[in-house]
Amino acid sequence: MTTTTMYARVGGGPAVKQVVDLLYTWILADEQLSPYFEDVTVHELKRHMAALLAQVLGGPQEYGGRELGPAHDGLHITEEHYTRVVDLALAALFKAHAPRDVVAAVEDTLNAVRAEIVTA
């Protein structure tokens, strides 16, 4: 019996890239969230986010970025803003036709790391 990863079920690398591109398009257009990214190279962030999402979904990429807490330290991310990003991420997954159980698994992961990222 072959087990198909969530990564394969969403469409692999191309789908992950599509989700991340859409997510950052929405984030950068959001007047509440875009200030967090004013002095940031978004291309690098997108690359890290794609690797992290791929890893969460059981894909071949290994996230090689910083730990989430230190990476977000000093940004003073609020509960409201984090929830907003989570909602946009889940919407991007739905828009890419990710199965509900995959979206739920990503939501669980995002909620599990919430305390490391929300500092305000």
Mean pLDDT of the chain: 90
Tell me how far the alpha carbon of residue 5 is from its chain's centroid.
18
Domains with residue ranges and CATH for the chain: 8-117 (1.10.490.10)
Look up residue 64 and give its two tokens: 């090689």
Residue range 69-86, pLDDT digits in tens: 887 888 889 999 999 999
Nearest CA-CA partner of 23 in 2, 3, 53, 1: 53
Residue range 2-15, pLDDT digits in tens: 568 999 999 999 99
What pLDDT does residue 46 have? 93
Q: What does pTM read for this prediction? A: 0.89
DSSP classification of residue 40:
S
Nearest CA-CA partner of 61 in 5, 104, 23, 2: 5
